[in-house]
Structure 1
Amino acid sequence: IHTPGPSMGARWGGEEGHKEPLPPLPVDFARAEREYQLYVGVLKNKLGLQVLELPADESLPDCIFVEDVAVVCEETALITRPGAPSRRKEVDAMKRALESLNLNIVEMTDENATLDGGDVLFTGREFFVGLSRRTNQRGAEILADTFKDYAVSTVPVYGTLHLKSFCSMAGPNLIAIGSTEAAQKALKDAILLHSKNFKKKVKFTKSGMEGFCPIVHHNSIGGLWHTQKQNANLLGSRPVL
């Protein structure tokens, strides 16, 4: 994970993928630091995980979104080519960090490809890749070539930035997905286009936080990260944070 830096508060704002872009909102950096320390504390002290912390990079305000620059499955890490040119230098620090873990590194060098990890949903059995403003078909093809043991299906994404802006895995064979028009269209497309692969239970939420509830399975602890309590109850789990 990346330590947040003050520059994140200077420019981070609304998602460009919306039909009507949201106005930029100032980030309370002091609050962000407190929440970061809480997050790291839960990972280390409550779950007993080892955490590799990367220093803040003031020249790359979006580097805190580490999932966008690498997709890791088993012992292989695919270093992505982010759709936003301003984020492409983020891959250097991520590559060094993953190399230090002795992972098999695959780099996306095709200049015609773009892929953000926020568009990659791994179910444990297959990948769904959102085709969005940040991820294109060539990026999805390279992911499929990298992880040949898993089926890869693409889903068009409209009206939001990433596929995982409105959905997350919330347990084995369980997807939490929003009730917005964009979310429902993506779900319909996934079922129509990939009915053979789409064998998942789906539960709908209304909080707008569907993209922020990755499941935790560690030392017999099951729960949801960063989700509201009502969503955790709906999904049959309990919030860890």
Structure 2
Amino acid sequence: MLNGEKWFVTCGDIADFLLVQADAGPERQPTLFFVDRAAPGVEMTRVPHFMHSAVNGHPEFTFTDVFVADEDVLGGVGNGYELTKEWFTDERLMIAARTVGAAERALQLARDWAVEREQFGAPIASYQLIQGMLADCAVDIAVNRAYTHQVAWEADQPGTDRKTLHAKASTAKLAASEAAGRVADRCLQIFGGRGYDRTYPVERMYRELRVDRIWEGTSEIQRLIIANELIKRGTRALALPTP
């Protein structure tokens, strides 16, 4: 029987089935369960309204004496963390790619605006403080695009060490999501008051990108994963591509 609650279940408002990780048995082993959302005892209690504007919701669920058959235990009792590591590796790489793409779009908009917008008789792109922000954005995007491509390539190679890959995906997610936040902030600043106006896309990007430092593991969790890999395997494990 499953008992407990889960907050922020992405797409839970439209899902027919839920993947639930819970502690199983007297030894409280982390285990994944396949749960029918219509099963007795499963209740969606609230759908929070967030800063970002996702198509689907992230509702909260409670589980009260929910029966789960043996065949609906995924991967065996106690293997929940290993299964979710695989998911997190893919998802964190996806977040890295998405945030780099969003940052590129924000910079394109800010660059075009800076070239066209005139103040004191000249385009604001001619002023060094604006140029500095544009340059910093370009650097943040370039280095994170390159690293994300590298780790994604490694993920496709046979024989890649999955534990090191997990830490590299955390590195990509941490670096790219934090960089995209900086880029969005600078680009909004370049637009000035118009950047705070909801009719301009950079305002939405500023809101949308904030969650990428939280979901699929916060930036703080990524730092713990990276540090743990460094302590166990040394600096070269994360610095070099997998052979």
Task: Calculate the TM-score normalised by the size of structure 2.
Answer: 0.26
- Where is the strand percentage greater, Structure 1 or Structure 2? 1
Which of the pair has more CA radius of gyration? 2
Higher relative contact order (CA 8 A, sep 6+): 2
- Where is the helix percentage greater, Structure 1 or Structure 2? 2
Task: Calculate the TM-score normalised by the size of structure 1.
Answer: 0.26
